[in-house]
Structure 1
Amino acid sequence: MGMLAKIRRLHLRDGLSIREVSRRTGLSRNTVREWLRQEGVTEPRYAKRERPSVVAPWAEQLEAALRADAHRPVRERRTAKALFEQIQALGYCGSYPRVVVWVRRWREAQAAAPRRAAFVPLAFELGEAFQFDWSCEYVFIGGLRRRLEVAHTKLAASRAFWLSAYPSQSHEMLFDAHARAFGAFGGVPRRGIYDNMKTAVDKVGVGKARAVNARFAAMCSHYLFEPEFCNRASGWEKGIVEKNVQDQRRTIWREAAEQRWPDLAHLNDWLASRCRQSWEDTAHPDWPLLTVADVLQDERAQLLPLAQRFDGYIEHPVRVSHTALIHFQRNRYSVPTAHVNAVLSLRIYPEELALIAEGGIEVARHPRCFERDQTRYDWRHYIDLVQTKPGALRNGAPFRVMPEALQRLQRHLLRHAGGDRVMAQVLAAVPIHGLDAVLVAAELALEAGRPSAEHVLNVLARLKEGTPKHVSTAALVLTLSEEPRADVDRYDRLRGGLQ
């Protein structure tokens, strides 16, 4: 536009010839003449000459490599030089700068491409629905940086949310997250909106058809809400909870990452208080004069009554080994030796493992371990076995976790011949009298200086019988019914009777 205006000024205003205008502007006389003849005042544009690039035959390979790198961490992405060497090995004969220019233009085109689609805003009635999603976060627990799976449950109307952290996304964690969230909300909405997570959906069908996991369906039936699943790769259909993941990662989890937590329970307690505080501090997006806590009070009246907590365990059959151990997730847990080689039912909870025998009888319960190659013993499971194999007490691994009083008693008894049998007799009293009573008896026997099984059992018997009750004599008053008389003749009468 500037050159056309200059030509018109030189020729029409200043009266210069076309030759002189051509000399001053550097354009050919034909170009000047053609521009002056056109009626418009728009500078003509000429099509750019298209030349076949030497990189064009390799464009498909370069684009595939760049798209693959877009899904990798930045430090693992290939440079233009690496791509140049890659296609050079395939037969590329051009120069390196041509590849650099092609890569730069491709990246600029990708950056300029529209990235956001249009969406319809959603509105929900009070008590109508909640949305659920998982996120991956990192915090320091027990001195180590650990990866945690965080369950986000958010009410679609009041925007109240609840966070619970777990080591994994397994079924028992999913059920526990729902129980905690519903307990915090004070009720259950009528619908739950999910993506197609594997713990809920066994198979994704055509359209909205889903093969729902049987255990997940049992939980939905227990709480009386209807599950609804998003279309494939359509996370915006539960955009409220998706945004909650981003918001809490910038606020709550930034604070959590700056602290050090002794265990997961302390972290979840802190998350609970932090969620309630956020309800009080956050204004509702639709009613700015009200907080999320205010709207939640109204929504609680529309929620379904909270049912009894769903027993959210996963059950697997396990076989007990000859060392009275069962294996689960590369860890071992003890059971009573009476169940060796038997098949038990293992009920998996988020924090505990329960072992059930036939008839629904619970035979063992252990805190769940999320490390690997660990063995969790309960020494009381092996008491019956050491009655017939008392020698196993000396180096038995389960008995290394006995209380300190019993370990000191064992060390004292094993110094003498037959001490292992004596210790087995003491341990046999634990199922009968209880662990607390045996510990007290062991302490008293150790204080006496020469403990023995008879001594411990004697103390247990006295503890079981208890101290005799003290009878008060203050209320007993003796009354004299016959007054004594001084009669010395009684002695003579007694003598006469003897003769």
Structure 2
Amino acid sequence: MINIIAQLNIIKAMEIKPNFSELAREYGMDRRTIKKYYEGYEGKPKNKNKSSRLDKFYDEIKMKLEIKGVTVKGVYEYFLNKGYEIGTYSNFNKYVKRKGLKPAKKIKAHPRFETPEGEQAQVDWKEDIKLISKYGEEFIINVFNFKLGYSRYTYFELRENKTQQDLFECLINAFKAIGGVPKRILFDNMKTVVDIENGRRRINNKMKAFADDFNFKIELCKPRHSFTKGKVEASNKFVDWILAYNGDFEDEKDLKNIIKEINKKINSSVNQAISVPPILLFQKEKEYLSPLPNSSIIEHYLDLEQKAKVLKDSTIYYKGNKYSVPKKYLGKTLNLKLIDYKLHIYFNTELICVHKLSNKKINYLPEHYIEILEDIIKNQDNLEQICNDNLNQLDKLLSY
């Protein structure tokens, strides 16, 4: 082809009329093809500019990938969860590369450490994740990350705070989720675990007591050697999938459900390090875990005081259900304590209300509900009756 093009260029330069039939016989080509090249045809383009089914999502993909810390896999899972027909991850990743949308990534080398079944778990926090709901409300959350070393089975839990009480409760919830306790747990040098005295690290007394009660040994990462907890660090990248939901979730409950779905997905998907889903190896590993302590020890740690922020509907969350407080505490953080199966709610040291524990999703005390209605209803003559009617209707609705 190069030869015929070169000869055609010479013929053009010499301003000679070409004999396409003779050239066709000489080069074993169709005369019409040679004529096309003589008239300026340059052949098929090397890169075809084909359309893609992802083109209609281009702007949204680009916007999601511009979120700081987000990953291509996280964005792919977001679109998949939304029910969009976007094809396989491999094709999605190729599209992102082809369009120049892939975020820059730093690669760090680190050694691998393997542990026997039931021997070790690693714990970390994914801290201060800032997200905005579809209603413009800002949420700053933390995600507790617990990972078994052998199977890579992972437990995530969303928390507003990272106090020692939060850590204790998350660990207990993780132990319950896996049905036992590993022999050793590797922690970062978090303040809830370690005290620093004269530049030396020391495990604090409350953490020691907790470990003794639940029969595991505490191990600490070497300072500035984060790769020693590489397994849990690796699963933190999956937590970043939640960044793709920025602007597309409703409330804290919605965020918790998203985290649960991400958690379920990574436990049931093939792990690159072990070439099988963690859930499969976990079936073997759970047989090697130590049993949980008796319920009185567990309840002792769960009965300790907790904190909760008051939501816009003048309620706080406790164990998945909402309980009302006076409206003057909107946006404030309150202390919660369970005493004789009743939820005692404090502002600092002042007891502001008490609720009986309930299976209902929303629990308003009438006096709190009336306070809210006072701002909405102008005619307040029958306010109490309206309050009772509304609360009864709410109870009926939630009972279905």
What TM-score, normalized to structure 1?
0.41
Select the structure with the greater relative contact order (CA < 8 A; seq sep ≥ 6).
2
* Structure whose CA Rg is larger: 1
What TM-score, normalized to structure 2?
0.50
